[in-house]
Amino acid sequence: MEIHLWWLELDLPAKEWLRENLEAESVPGHVLSAVTAAGGEVVAGTLTRREWAFIETQSEFVD
């Protein structure tokens, strides 16, 4: 599923962690769980380059 579809379902603490830790090589379990619960997929313990780009440029801080 594309990030713009699952991002809206992601809980706020997970969004904040992802914004504060852009392009992290590994993402903590609680954030990975939130991503998969929202409908996203995790590959090798992190997000794709495209998803990181979305978070950096298109995610809004007013959730």
Kindly report the CA angle at 37 between 59 and 2, in degrees rounded to 5? 45
Asked if 9 contacts 39 with a C-beta cutoff of 8 angstroms, the reply is yes
Q: What mean pLDDT is predicted for residues 45-61?
A: 89
Kindly report the pTM of this predicted structure: 0.88
Residue 60: pLDDT over 80: no
Q: What mean pLDDT is predicted for residues 27-53?
A: 94
